Copies of this chain bind each other. A is one copy, B any other.
Amino acid sequence: MLELAILGVLKEQDLHGYELKRRLTEMLGTFSAVSFGSLYPALGRLERADAVKAVEANDAPAAAPPSPATGSLGAELAAFRARARAARGEVRSPGRGGRSRKVYGITVKGDRLFEDLLADAAASTEDDRAFNLRLAFARHLPDDARLGLLERRRAALVERLDRGRRSLKAAGTDTYGRSLLEHGTEVTEHDISWLDRLIAAERERTRTSREDTPT
- A positions within 8 Å CB-CB of B: 26-31, 132, 135-139, 160, 163-164, 167, 170-171, 174-177, 179-181, 183-188, 190-191, 194, 198
C-alpha gap A184/B128 in the complex (Å) = 12
C-alpha gap A181/B31 in the complex (Å) = 11
Q: Is the CB of B188 within 8 A of A190?
A: no
C-alpha gap A31/B181 in the complex (Å) = 11
Given known A-B contacts A179-B198, A183-B194, A190-B190, A167 and B136 have beta carbons under 8 A apart: no
Q: Is the CB of B30 within 8 A of A187?
A: yes
Instruction: Find chain B residues with CB under 8 A from A136 CB.
Output: 176-177, 180
Among B160, B176, B194, which residue has its beta carbon within 8 angstroms of that of A30?
Answer: B160
Among B27, B132, B164, B191, which residue has its beta carbon within 8 angstroms of that of A29?
Answer: B164
